[in-house]
A and B are shown apart, each in its own frame.
Chain A
Amino acid sequence: MSALAAAARPPSRPWRELAARLRANPSFMLGAALLAAMAALAISADWLAPFDPLRGSARARMTAPGATYWLGTDHFGRDILSRVMHGARLSLLIGLAVMIVTGLAGTAIGAVAGYFRALDGPIMRLMDAFMAFPPIILAIAISATLGGSVTNVIIALSIAATPHTARVVRAAALVAREMDYVEAARAIGASHARILVRHVLANSLAPLIVRLTYVFAIAILNEAVLSYIGVGPPPPTPTFGAIIANGRDFILEAPWITLAPGLAIVVSVLGLNLMGDGLRDVLDPRLRTPLR
């Protein structure tokens, strides 16, 4: 391997060192623990949930929390604890899917805009236009247009989250484009695609990972808003938002229906935000928290 080729490789962080630094970061570890607990509840819902989340018991309608129903029941007589556990599954899945879709779309758009000068203007104007809509209104409008389903909620939330992500990647790509090692790679005849993937993307990985953690968190919050407005995933499969929307009419009589899923959101989002902070500290201290 020639010295030139070696120089063309981006300065890669040793993963082991990264893991060690993350382990030493209390924010990240606390956040990861919260999220892991929530994910464990979600994954184990089939075995650990005390009741069927979809089937209600006529005699137990709107029972306050107690010995049988730890978190009470809703007006169908369905166990809230079981619904929250199963709801965690779908809510986390939606968050994860939005994170992945946004990551892929944002990276593709941002990298292309940042790397190819001619495309930068038009692409970023389009992203500006999408960002000029308040994201939640955009998501509501898209979900109302496509119809409320899990897939459509993921699409709506991803479209709302992508422009900002694309901007983050573009900024990193702009920097990378000017780096010596990219010019070197170009000099030795590497293809655009290769340079994009190997060098430009590698350089934007740190801010992207941090941003995507927050995208995950925001997706969980916004799924709940969509359900609250009435354009979220359809019943009976629970999501955090759907359980809250179901209990809202009874907030004064049966607050437990609304409280438990709300707290589950807070724990999940707090976990993700803490992880995001930890990742930011370790990966890129210059980054600031984006606002939802």
Chain B
Amino acid sequence: MTQHFRLTAVVAGLAAFAAWPAAAQKAGGDIVITMVQAPPSLDAHVSSAQVARNVNLHIFETLYARDETAKPVPDLATGVEVSADGLTYVFTLRQGVKFHNGKALTSEDVVASLERFRKVGASATLLAAVDTIAADGPGKVVVKLKSVQSTFLGNLSSPRSPIAIMPAEEAAKPGGQARPIGTGPFKFVDYKPDSHVKLEKFADYVPNPAYKERDGFAGAKIVHVNSVTFRFVPEAGARTAALESGESHFNETADGPTAKRLAGNAAFQIVKVLPFALQVVKFNHAQAPGANADFRRAVALALDPDEIMAIAYPDIYKLDHAWVYPGSPFHRDRGAWKRDATAAKAALAKSGYKGEKLTFIVDSFRPNVDVATVMQQQLQAIGVAIDIKVADWPTVSKIGFTDEGWNFWTHGFGIEPFEGPASVISPWVKGTSQRKADPRIDAMFDRINSEMKPEEQQKIFDSFQDLMRDEAVALNLGDYGLFQIASAKLKNFKPYRIPRMWGVWLE
């Protein structure tokens, strides 16, 4: 079996296509996308799940949004004026923006939406620094902060659980009950759970005149197709089969071997979304032996991340151990993983671990189970005994945020490294993720939040990454990506955090 397969050519071809003049565009058509899961809610405020973003960010927009390099740029706002003390933000709204219900966007809607997010938002802490939100005439919104926050615009533009702007009357509804009415380029048509969500082109949408083309979640969102149908197909083979038989145009998640098989086929284009997330291994610091830094270091020294990632994410991983993605202004090379079986055994001996069975919890997402399985093998070599406990996400996340019932937990960190340093540090504040507060981490978080100078932010972030590595607070095994496979009929697609269906057309 030949191991050579080249995606680079395909990806390069795509990039070239993206730069093409707009002459070849074709209007019309229904794009069918297959995804693994359905969004837990179409109320954009209440879910921070990845699958929710895929759909919701076609319907909703935010005041500021992340561009192609994850920088916050204006979207529904035309810009912001920040007062000299850094506490007052005055946003000017874009003119002529309409909601899908025909109503024009006003400052009243923005105020209601932000207020609602503070109450029901799945990541309401994004707005924790906000003191008051008020309208200043129909076209301006004034946000006052309690204290200076360097990440405020970053938070406001976070796609995590988007601070979506919805009509004031929808924003008056309790969490989870707002109807999917936004200002985005696509309008909600219908949702059949376990089947599909259908969106259609919003005829009254006016692409942001400040931009020429799409740019991350912002930019000029020009829609060429008539509609987009997201179909939920849990079985990987069925998603591929649907693509191969022409029932769908885009498979949102494919496995390495599938991509490899279809790479040579002119009917398909393979898209690599890498990095998409980084693989985190958490330790429970509230329990022995995870409480012991020597034990955690021993585990780190014993692991071979290359083997782990190659099995869990074949052909779509990168051994980059920085806690943000390459391309981020905060990304620095963190060097190669240190592996040393002798040192691992020595550290293990120092740790006081006596060979007792440890529990590795993991949700049933196959690559996560793979990571746990390979780690179990590798750790056995230095005498660490592990029982793997696979359960559904509700069970695992319930256990994983308590002090008992687990020693290891692995999953992806997708959106945090995309958002930037403060978001990466945040899960470790007050010991939320490692179950034991570390005052050093808490202090770093406070400092990076109020530090406005990027160089200083970088220093804080570097010291955080040093701490994570030196004490193995948690492990970052490397970046992994998603293979997406598109029909060759889909033109001008460019990979991003979600499969954006603006700017593309069907041939």
| Residue in chain B with minimal CB distance to A235 | B373
Whether B373 contacts A148 by the Cβ 8 Å rule is no
Residues of A with C-beta under 8 A to B388: 234-236
Pick the interface stretch among B186-194, B220-228, B364-372, B424-432: B364-372
* B395 touches which of A75, A147, A252 (Cβ 8 Å): A147
Question: What's the least CB distance linking A245 to chain B, in Å?
Answer: 8
* B255 touches which of A147, A234, A249 (Cβ 8 Å): A249
Whether B240 contacts A252 by the Cβ 8 Å rule is yes
Whether B255 contacts A76 by the Cβ 8 Å rule is no
Whether A234 contacts B389 by the Cβ 8 Å rule is yes
Give residues of chain A (225-246) contacting chain B, Cβ–Cβ below 8 Å: 230-231, 234-236, 246
| Residue in chain A with minimal CB distance to B369 | A235
Whether B391 contacts A236 by the Cβ 8 Å rule is no
Whether B311 contacts A235 by the Cβ 8 Å rule is no
CA–CA, A148 and B307, complex, Å: 26
| Residue in chain B with minimal CB distance to A52 | B377
A27 an interface residue at 8 Å Cβ cutoff? no
Whether A230 contacts B390 by the Cβ 8 Å rule is yes
A65 an interface residue at 8 Å Cβ cutoff? no
Whether B307 contacts A249 by the Cβ 8 Å rule is no
Whether B236 contacts A249 by the Cβ 8 Å rule is yes
Tell me whether A250 and B255 are in contact in the complex, defined as CB-CB below 8 angstroms, given that A63-B1, A76-B311 are known contacts: yes
CA–CA, A161 and B390, complex, Å: 24
Question: What's the least CB distance linking A61 to chain B, in Å?
Answer: 7
Whether B372 contacts A235 by the Cβ 8 Å rule is yes
B392 an interface residue at 8 Å Cβ cutoff? yes
Residues of A with C-beta under 8 A to B377: 54-55, 236
Residues of A with C-beta under 8 A to B314: 61, 75
Residues of B with C-beta under 8 A to A148: 389-391
* B311 touches which of A56, A230, A251 (Cβ 8 Å): A56
Question: What's the least CB distance linking B365 to chain A, in Å?
Answer: 9
- Which of B374, B376, B377 gathers most chain A CB within 10 Å? B377
Q: B99-137, CB under 8 A of A: which get 1 and which 0? A: 000000000000000000000000000000000000000
Residues of A with C-beta under 8 A to B237: 248-252
CA–CA, A235 and B257, complex, Å: 22
CA–CA, A230 and B364, complex, Å: 6
CA–CA, A55 and B261, complex, Å: 26
Give residues of chain B (227-250) contacting chain A, Cβ–Cβ below 8 Å: 235-237, 240-241
CA–CA, A144 and B392, complex, Å: 8
Whether B310 contacts A58 by the Cβ 8 Å rule is yes
Majority secondary structure, A binding face: loop
Residues of A with C-beta under 8 A to B37: none
CA–CA, A254 and B260, complex, Å: 12
Whether A234 contacts B387 by the Cβ 8 Å rule is yes
CA–CA, A26 and B307, complex, Å: 51
* A76 touches which of B235, B260, B374 (Cβ 8 Å): B374
Tell me whether A58 and B390 are in contact in the complex, defined as CB-CB below 8 angstroms, given that A253-B257, A253-B258 are known contacts: no
Residues of B with C-beta under 8 A to A58: 307, 310
Give residues of chain B (68-110) contacting chain A, Cβ–Cβ below 8 Å: none
Whether A76 contacts B370 by the Cβ 8 Å rule is yes
| Residue in chain A with minimal CB distance to B376 | A236
A153 an interface residue at 8 Å Cβ cutoff? no
| Residue in chain B with minimal CB distance to A254 | B257
Residues of B with C-beta under 8 A to A253: 255, 257-258, 260-261
Whether B257 contacts A230 by the Cβ 8 Å rule is no
Residues of A with C-beta under 8 A to B240: 252
Whether B261 contacts A61 by the Cβ 8 Å rule is no
Question: What's the least CB distance linking A282 to chain B, in Å?
Answer: 43
Question: What's the least CB distance linking B443 to chain A, in Å?
Answer: 38
A200 an interface residue at 8 Å Cβ cutoff? no
CA–CA, A234 and B307, complex, Å: 21
Residues of B with C-beta under 8 A to A196: none
Question: What's the least CB distance linking A87 to chain B, in Å?
Answer: 15
A62 an interface residue at 8 Å Cβ cutoff? yes
Question: What's the least CB distance linking A73 to chain B, in Å?
Answer: 11
Q: B376-419, CB under 8 A of A: which get 1 and which 0? A: 11000000000111111001000000000000000000000000
Known: A236-B373, A250-B255, A252-B237. 7 other contacts (CB 8 A): A54-B377, A61-B314, A76-B373, A144-B392, A230-B364, A248-B236, A249-B236
Which 5 residue pairs of A and B lie closest in terms of their CB atoms, listed nearest first? A230-B364, A251-B237, A253-B257, A249-B236, A234-B388
Q: Give 16 CB contacts A-B under 8 Å.
A: A54-B377, A55-B377, A58-B307, A75-B311, A76-B370, A230-B364, A231-B392, A235-B373, A235-B376, A236-B376, A248-B237, A249-B255, A250-B236, A252-B240, A252-B241, A253-B261
